[in-house]
Structure 1
Amino acid sequence: MRDSDELDKLVKVIASALPDDQKFIALHEPHFSGNEWEYVKECLDTGWVSSVGKFVDRFEHDLAEYTGVNHAIAVVNGTAALHICLKLAGVEQNDEVLIPSLTFIATANAVSYCGAIPHFVDSEMRTLGIDPLKLSDYLKDIAEIKQGDCYNKITGRRIRAVVPMHTFGHPVDLDPLMELCASYHIELIEDAAESLGSYYKGKHTGNFGKVSALSFNGNKVITTGGGGAILTNNESLAKLAKHVTTTAKVPHKWAFNHDQIGFNYRLPNINAALGCAQLEQLDHFLIKKRALADSYRKVIAEIDCASFMVEPEFAKSNYWLNTIVLNSPDEMKREYLLEKLNNQGIMSRPVWTLMHKLPIFTKFPRMELTVVENLEMQLINIPSSVMLGMTRVNAEGLE
């Protein structure tokens, strides 16, 4: 069979797992079927629409309870959450921060906001996230401990933190990464923007870093329109996070005093109201998303040229974005498949341009990046919206 024939067959089996009565199927759409209208209307009726209100408090409480962390601080978006996480972890100007080159640009941007240096590292196939074993070998060559801190022997800069990003909702292998951080005195900060509802060895992502970041953008598993959150089990860091994200204003009945540089990052009450309603439905959303992923897995198993990205054996994924993995890196095949799918009204996209290839980041340090440079030509995201999993859930009584 010619390559194009096999790719055409792949398009057909993907289409077979999707509704046949829609001219266009988006990559990931929000789904509103709960108390969204009621809660948002309450904000409008009462006038509590800005950065304080009962829904902000409730959303933070409910997030902490759902994820199992001690504290959640709601902010305006996931990038803001990650920015503050880095500052809370002590990242300073000219520090280096180890981040995957295979990530959304927000990860690298947040490092840059701190005046720090993104240092790009490779990923592994089974998780699409940071490869802790390869990173360990790399640090043996370039890192040294001086006065309790880790330094890059080549650049002379301090390596302050590592930021694993749970790609498309699939958790990174965190245990060996945490051991590595302990050995090299490096802070672990989880970029959990895509992994609400995902678990590593039975514990929700966001519990493993000193601080962690979530995102509630319109295309995430649940949405607040925009929005994000800082997660931590450290009470003092949680108090500091809330303080600096509210312009570092010292509490007073009328005076405006600020005791440090702060940020106007707090999530508005009207957005938090949307989030509360969405979070009430999260378990049902995850059932539908996992059902859709299972449908894809079964039909794509019939294809020789590609596989479906499944959760690693130690994890339970939210399958935020379903992903096809071509068997070999081939840009022409990837582009052929993208064109066929999108022309058929099945929205699909390649993975993000690798960070180290963007002109703004080409001069920053990086390790050998063979795996991600191959993955860039192998990965394609396909439709993943909650409602696409409803047909199978209803038919098989999975709820």
Structure 2
Amino acid sequence: MNNQWVAFTEHIKSYYGKEFVPLHEPTFNNKEIEYVTDCVKSGWVSSVGEYVNRFEEDLARFVGVKRAVAVVNGTAALHIALKVVGVEAGDEVLVPSLTFIATANAVSYMGAVPHFVDVSFQTLGVDMERLKIHLETIGELRNGNLYNKETGRRISALVPMHTFGHAVDIDGLLEICEMYHLVLIEDAAESLGTYYKGKPTGSFGKVSAISFNGNKIITTGGGGALVTDDDALADYAKHLTTTAKVPHRWAYDHDEIGYNYRMPNLNAALGCAQLEKMPMFIPQKRELTKRYEQWLVNLEGVHLFKEPANTRSNYWLQTLILDERYNRDEVLNFLNEQGVMSRPIWTPMHKLAMYQKCPKADLNVTEQLNESVVNIPSTPLSEV
């Protein structure tokens, strides 16, 4: 690699003051210690407690929806979201091939089939125009439902993912969902704090899923949440995620197969402290974006992915797009050897052994991005 690449890595290490810079680290201080200590002293550390209630209320307010249901991770949130909106075994669910595996796995947990669609160079998320053309080709409306003419299966839902925190074209996808009678579930795992036309991501879907894994913009250690404006769906989600136990002072009765998915109070205490810091984390993320723009000025053939039009991104993971002169793996090898932790985008879902036989659209944009995307260190440097 040339001297410009060496200078780029030195800028990053100097900014963070480290010889090894991780991809993304959580930021904690006395507030997390205070809340977690209080939780431990209370004795209520499992799936019931005041911090769970508080975290759900604070999160719903932040996202701009009526309800939030805290769960053990983002995959569980997606699983329950699919179930409460009525996805059934044997259905197909439209998901991007360019996503973290949780999106496809959650569909599989339902006994449904992921149907992979392509993404846009402008958003890195589901491409509205390409999806519309695909559905015009393979779709057929019958009795108020969309069917895949090639497989005979019902297509019941669309699950777009806001890649690296950047919002997809929500208006276009809502238009398609209305046209084809599909339920929209937002995979907002990475996009807490991102806005589309002034409205928070996660507030557009019938139900949406968020992740609070250790590398996300805020963390509960491990955790996730469903968010929705539908009280009935939120109540059902809370019921399912607490083993479908019928409320009673002492009896253990369960009215259907449920899941032990509720977030522990201990994790929620951490989340409450983290959520309070979002007004600091987002400006720091955006400041880092400006730094990267400056450091990349002299590096030819590389550009920093920027937020799409009409959006305001949380810039969860900073993203480089390489042109054809670079071999992605050679760049990754160089950066990591220099102490700048970097990673490729996920292996596209349609290339994984268990999903190779799933239905799919033309995925040429996904294929191109797979060879050209590199994520670089993205931890916000907040004074918190």
TM-score by length of 2: 0.97
Deviations, residues 10-67 of structure 1 (Å, cap 9, x unaligned): 3422431442641210000000024100111111111110000000000000001111
Q: Could you tell me which amino acid in structure 1 is paired with residue 57 of structure 2?
A: H
Checking the alignment, whether the CA contact within 8 Å between 1:14 and 1:300 is kept in structure 2 is: no
2:184 counterpart SS class: strand
Q: Does 1:181 align with 2:177?
A: yes
Aligned partners of 2:12 and 2:340 also within 8 Å: no
Structure 1 distance, partners of 2:48, 2:18, is 41
CA RMSD of superposed structures (Å)? 1.3
Letter in 2 for 1:104: F
CA distance in 2, matches of 1:195, 1:295: 21
Q: What do the CA deviations read for 1:96-141 (whole angstroms, capped 9, x no partner)?
A: 0000000000000000000000000000011100001000011001
Q: Which residue matches 1:342?
A: 336
Counterpart in 1 of 2:296? 300
In 2, are the aligned partners of 1:14 and 1:299 still within 8 Å (CA)?
A: no
The secondary structure found in structure 2 opposite 1:266 is coil
Aligned to 2:92: 96
Unaligned runs of 5+ in 2: none
1:162 alignment counterpart: 158
Contact conserved, 1:300 with 1:306, CA < 8 A, in 2? yes
Q: 2:4 aligns with which of 6, 9, 21?
A: 9
Alignment of 1:1-399 (within 5 A): 4-5=1-2, 8-19=3-14, 21-328=17-324, 333-387=327-381, 390=382
Q: Secondary structure at the match of 1:386?
A: coil
How many Å separate the matches in 2 of 1:78 and 1:106? 8
Distance 1:184 1:357 in 2: 27
Inter-partner Cα distance in structure 1 for 2:119 and 2:337: 31
- The residue identity in structure 2 corresponding to 1:9 is Q
Aligned counterparts of 1:348 and 1:244: Cα–Cα separation in 2: 38
Aligned partners of 2:107 and 2:113 also within 8 Å = yes
Which runs of 5 or more structure 1 residues have no equivalent in the other structure? none
What SS is found at the alignment partner of 1:19?
helix
Structure 1 residue matching 2:78: 3-state secondary structure = helix
Q: Is the 8 A contact 1:215 1:227 kept in 2?
A: yes
Conserved? CA contact 1:341–1:347, under 8 Å:
yes
Q: Distance in 2 between matches of 1:96 and 1:15?
A: 47
Contact 2:13/2:19 (<8 A) preserved: no
Length-normalised TM-score, structure 1: 0.94
Q: Percent identity?
A: 56
Q: Structure 1, residues 256-297: CA drift from partner, whole Å, max 9, x if none?
A: 111111111000000000000000111101111111111102
Matches of 2:155 and 2:197, distance apart in 1: 28
- Seen in structure 2, the aligned counterparts of structure 1 residues 18 and 312 have a Cα distance that, compared at 3 Å, is farther
In structure 2, the residue corresponding to 1:45 is in which secondary structure? helix
- Cα distance in 1 for partners of 2:75, 2:107 equals 10
How many pairs align?
383
SS of residue paired to 1:144: strand
**Cα distance in 2 between the residues matched to 1:323 and 1:291:** 15
Q: Secondary structure at the match of 1:35?
A: helix
Counterpart of 1:198 in structure 2: which amino acid? Answer: T
User: 1:236-271: CA deviations, max 9, x gaps?
Assistant: 101111111111111001101111111110000000
